[in-house]
Structure 1
């Protein structure tokens, strides 16, 4: 598989400086970027040397599926690779969307609380190309926005959905079922909020549900993370699921989720919903 990575930060420029010095934000970012590039290049072995298109080669060798990005007319891979880079203490979203630099996207500071519908209206008012995609958190324990709110926006303005955190910051991997490992993300001081979330009453209930979901994964012949990603992909309203990865092995495992998408039958999804007990309902379903 070929993975494209884009970086738009001004610090990420080539130069002749000392690459061993990672004390400055720019050098630290370059080090992070090189790590992600190594992961991407590790999939070069999958790419054939024949003169065929990327889409064709990716589809044949990895089973990658492509979906419409809302009603924009664009098509994107159903799985994408996302990374985060820290610049001077600030986390910068460096996910690689080659299609999104082509639009007059309107910056949406959190202080403005500007909804996607309002952003669309403003873009139309000033004759700009409006946003065509919403990026939203979506996983087994976070469903409301993607399953209720975004479908309404799709029908109103044709917006698509790219979702992130399919494994809920690692919670759904199952590694926290017996406590918090010392080498895990939740053990770090900067992730104290994640630790509190895991050890809370809701967190303990989630771990119990994950054990039950693990039995479903075993029956399907997949891992719990693969089940979680395939579950996200089973939603046809999701254009692309963005994966995080710290190693080629983890990325390979997550990409393998595509193989289990056909196994996400209505019966399996119903069993998962029964375990989760958090299926949201639309306004129409409430009225009926």
Structure 2
């Protein structure tokens, strides 16, 4: 405080440097740095020193508590930070223990856990801000039919632990994260169907709801308005199309813009080595024009590209299931035989890259940067693990490798000049 700093007696050396007599100044105040032995005026000197001491102690008491308070607050903050750090470590240890228990129950090694080895890639879905894993888990055919509920749960957990955040399902499937409309695209069917799906999924909303196949009996405007309604009501965040052609997607977009509604953000399309036209020619043009993304399915052509049909049709294969006779017919056709010959060359090619044929096929799909996500199907956990590891093959698909694959396939599509959706140069 200023009174302490300005007092000339504070901080001075004792009596050796100061006279022992009391000096009277013109102001009449006593100033002394020692106690005189002279009896005359000794009481006054003592009172003066006592008064000065009380003043010093009073001012010191007002200064040091503030410093002590600051030190105490600093100490408490440090203690709180240490406690927060300790709690985080405890929480992380508990999570690790839960993960280890889960992996042990499911006979998965933590060291080999796919979360550490897949190197999952995330891409925006179209020009939206929604980030999705480059591979998703599809549940068509397998879930609710071909595999048991226990296997389905195991594969769903395995996919999630691997970094997959996209799960595709439908009204005809049993579980998943995304929902599609299968009973037409009228306002009634969209709203009722989505509500029923949310009840079965035990969710408040889905991220994306898909309009599966165009409905010739419902105007596109009604479908667009219904999709906008379910989004505005919080039942879904986005909507997309599935198996729509370019003209239908463009019409939906135009209707949405005309009536201030919400347009679709992506199209679900079949894409594999033997089906390329739509994804490689049409959808990129729609992406540049209106921001439509591509979520593709069947990268192994319903199992044909896996190579399991090279010696016939196994009894447990999808082509032998009731209702999928069309796959068997396709395999046994003349075109199917030509595809099998190409697959033999591709299998040799995959060996050069030190990967399996399915991994090569999935990585080939992912090398297309306009493909936001590839939906994988699997009937066994080991099969799902193999397919997910196709992400590690992706860096090996260089331009020269892709050109060699095109030479084997001999089916690279080219944009037709004069087409309404041809790319402008």
Superposition TM-score, scaled by structure 2 size: 0.50
Structure 1 distance, partners of 2:351, 2:132, is: 30
Contact 2:177 2:206 in 1 (8 A): no
Gapped regions of structure 1 (runs ≥ 5): 1-37, 48-56
The whole-number CA distance in structure 1 between the counterparts of 2:250 and 2:418 is 23
1:79 aligns with 2:135: yes
Preserved contact between residue 300 and residue 358 of structure 2 (Cα < 8 Å):
yes
**1:283 is paired with a residue of what secondary structure?**
coil
Tell me if the contact between 1:46 and 1:61 (Cα under 8 Å) persists in the aligned partners.
Answer: no
1:111 pairs with one of 191, 200, 216 = 216
Q: Which residue of 2 aligns with 1:194?
A: 327
Compute the displacement of 1:86 (Å). 6.3
- The residue number in structure 2 matching 1:218 is 351
Query: What secondary structure, in the 3-state scheme, does the structure 2 residue paired with 1:278 have?
Result: coil
1:274 equivalent in structure 2: 407
Corresponding residue for 2:302? 169
Correspondence 1:1-288 to 2 at 5 A: 58=115, 60-84=116-140, 91-92=172-173, 96-97=177-178, 101-102=206-207, 109-111=214-216, 115-283=248-416
Q: Aligned-pair distance for 1:191? A: 1.4
User: Do 1:103 and 1:130's aligned partners in 2 also have CA atoms closer than 8 Å?
Assistant: no
> How far 1:46 sits from its partner (Å)?
5.8
| CA RMSD between the two structures | 3.3
Consecutive unaligned residues of structure 2, counting only runs of 5 or more, are 1-101, 146-170, 180-204, 218-243
- Displacement of 1:184: 1.6
Any idea what SS the aligned residue of 1:163 has? Answer: strand
Shift of 1:233: 0.3
Q: After TM superposition, give the deviation of residue 208 of structure 1 in Å.
A: 0.5
Instruction: Identify if the C-alpha distance between structure 1 residues 266 and 285 changes in structure 2 by more than 3 Å, giving closer, same or farther.
Output: farther
Secondary structure, in 3 states, of the residue corresponding to 2:295? strand
Any idea what the Cα deviations from partners look like across 1:168-214, whole Å, max 9, x if unmatched? 00000001111112222212232111110000000000000000000
CA displacement, residues 267-286 of structure 1 (integer Å, 9 cap, x when unaligned): 11111101111000113599
Report how many aligned residue pairs link the two structures. Answer: 238
Q: Distance in 2 between matches of 1:274 and 1:233?
A: 19
Output one character per residue of 1:87-124: Cα deviation in whole Å (capped at 9) or x when no partner: 9xx845965349x9356866764425771111112222
Structure 2 distance, partners of 1:175, 1:144, is 25
How far apart are the structure 2 equivalents of 1:103 and 1:127?
Answer: 20
Structure 2 CA distance for partners of 1:272 and 1:94, relative to 1, 3 Å: farther
- Please say if residues 140 and 276 of structure 1, whose CA atoms lie closer than 8 Å, have aligned partners that are also in contact: yes
When Rg is computed on C-alpha atoms for both structures, the one with the higher figure is 2
Q: Per the alignment, do residues 103 and 171 of structure 1 end up closer, same or farther by CA in structure 2, a change over 3 Å counting?
A: closer
CA contact (8 A) 1:139 1:166 kept: yes
Conservation of the 8 A alpha-carbon contact between 2:177 and 2:207: no
Deviations 1:144-169 (A, max 9, x none): 00000000000110111100000000
CA distance in structure 2 between the partners assigned to 1:171 and 1:66 by the alignment: 27
TM-score (norm 1): 0.73
Are the structure 2 counterparts of residues 64 and 285 from structure 1 closer, same or farther at C-alpha, using a change threshold of 3 Å? Answer: farther
Q: Which moved more, 1:190-199 or 1:177-186?
A: 177-186
